[in-house]
């Protein structure tokens, strides 16, 4: 009788340990979740580094816009189309494509 009882207890202990192993691997906050969290952490660290680089660039541009008159003039010219007093602006037009195609067909 003792052998049967010991066998049942051993079987229950093995099944219990197997269930605990499954819970540890696949359960909430288990090894599978740990792998996913590590991937997310890596992605977030890359995004954070990129945002830090962009932040540094913006701080530099802010400093230039506050202190560098040549840079301010350059931005005003490029983005706002501003010109200095007494400057002459020349606009060159490109020929229309339809005229080029018609001229090519006539040859």
Question: Does the residue 51 lie in any domain?
Answer: yes
Tens digit of each residue's pLDDT (9 = 90 or more) over 64-99: 999 999 999 999 888 888 888 888 888 888 888 765
Render the burial of 12-42: b for 16+ CB within 10 Å, e for the rest: eeeeeeeeeeeeeeeeeeeeeeeeeeeeeee
Query: Would residue 97 count as lying in a domain?
Result: no
30 Cα distance to chain centroid: 28
In a domain, 83, yes or no: yes
For the segment 15-73, what is each residue's pLDDT rounded down to a tens digit? 999 888 887 777 777 777 788 889 999 999 999 999 999 999 999 999 999 999 999 99
Tell me, yes or no, whether 102 lies in a domain. Answer: no
| Cβ(44)–Cβ(51) below 8 Å | no
Is residue 62 assigned to a domain? yes
Domain count of the fold of the chain = 1
Distance CA 43, CA 36 (A): 11
- pTM above threshold 0.85: no
Residue 106 falls within a domain, yes or no? no
What does the pLDDT read at residue 84?
A: 83
Residue 59 lies in a domain: yes
Gyration radius (Cα) of the chain, Å: 36
Cα–Cα distances in angstroms (integers) from residue 104 to residues 48, 95, 98, in the given order: 55, 13, 10
12 in any annotated domain: yes
Q: Domain of 77? A: 2-87
């Amino acid at each position: 009788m003792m052998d049967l009882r010991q066998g049942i207890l051993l079987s229950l202990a093995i099944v219990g340990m197997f269930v605990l192993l499954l819970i540890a691997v696949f359960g909430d906050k288990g090894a599978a979740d740990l792998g996913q969290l590590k991937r997310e952490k890596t992605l977030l660290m890359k995004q954070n580094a990129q945002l830090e680089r962009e932040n540094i660039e913006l701080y530099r541009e802010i400093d230039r816009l506050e202190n560098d008159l040549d840079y301010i003039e350059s931005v005003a010219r490029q983005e706002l189309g501003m010109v200095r007093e007494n400057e002459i602006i020349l606009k060159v037009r490109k020929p229309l494509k339809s005229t080029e195609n018609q001229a090519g067909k006539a040859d």
